[in-house]
Structure 1
């Protein structure tokens, strides 16, 4: 597990650092998407999770869900285009699960990506994520997860 300024970033995931999201291949051609601990620390307590519906297509760089906290309302963006095949219904009823377990029970959606082979190389592997996240935190003036 990589740690950057107190933020956990599991090595077995792929990261879209700019959008604070992670991807995990599910083994059947689909990918699970969620928010990083950096995203949850920046947002604070998540109070609402409004996912797009199963069957909806999303374009690369567009939202798969709207996340709302006491500090922020905004999109959870996907680096990959595709069709939403599953949403985390448990997050709808208990959105702060993303604060408690962002890499486990707090996942957002499962996507059937359109062109994963071309998107995957644009994401940062967990084993290489420390330097890009340090740079992003510097650029954003973010002290770290423990300071949030």
Structure 2
């Protein structure tokens, strides 16, 4: 597991750095999307999670869910275009899972990508992701998780 300024950044996932989201391609071809620990740290304790409905088509860099904390309300933007195939009922019941386990139980949605090969090329992984998050945190004046 990689870390930048105390924020866990698993090096086996792919990241949309600008949107602070991760994506993992699953063996069945679907993709799981979630917020990074950095996003959770910036937002503070998540108190609400409102995903788009299963069956809804979502476009790359557009909202797949709305999350709310005590100091922020905003979209979680999907890193690839696709159809939502599952939402996280555990997070709906306990939104704080996004903060507690962002890369495990705190995932947001699963989607069936429309063009994984075409759209995943600009996502970062491994050392590239760690370096990109370091630069983003520096630009944002972020002290650490």
Assess same fold via TM > 0.5: yes
Root mean square deviation of aligned Cα: 0.8
The answer as to 2:99 corresponding to 1:133 is no
- Give the structure-2-normalised TM-score: 0.97
| Cα deviation, residue 121, structure 1 | 1.3
What is residue 61 of structure 1 aligned with on the other side? 61
Q: Secondary structure at the match of 1:19?
A: coil
- Give the structure-1-normalised TM-score: 0.95
Tell me if the contact between 1:15 and 1:126 (Cα under 8 Å) persists in the aligned partners: no
Tell me if the contact between 1:44 and 1:70 (Cα under 8 Å) persists in the aligned partners: yes
Q: Secondary structure at the match of 2:18?
A: helix
Tell me the distance in 1 between the aligned counterparts of 2:142 and 2:77: 20
Gaps of 5+ in 1: none
Alignment of 1:24-35 (within 5 A): 24-35=24-35
What is residue 46 of structure 1 aligned with on the other side? 46
The answer as to 2:120 corresponding to 1:120 is yes
Tell me if the contact between 1:81 and 1:113 (Cα under 8 Å) persists in the aligned partners: yes
Runs of 4+ residues over 4 Å off in structure 1: none
Tell me the distance in 1 between the aligned counterparts of 2:90 and 2:130: 30
Matched pairs, number: 145
| Cα deviation, residue 89, structure 1 | 0.9
Q: Deviation digits for residues 88-116 of structure 1, max 9, x if unmatched?
A: 01101100001110000000000101110
| Cα deviation, residue 143, structure 1 | 1.0
The answer as to 2:98 corresponding to 1:98 is yes
Tell me if the contact between 2:97 and 2:105 (Cα under 8 Å) persists in the aligned partners: yes
Q: Secondary structure at the match of 1:27?
A: coil
Tell me if the contact between 1:81 and 1:114 (Cα under 8 Å) persists in the aligned partners: yes
Alignment of 1:68-83 (within 5 A): 68-83=68-83
| Cα deviation, residue 128, structure 1 | 2.3
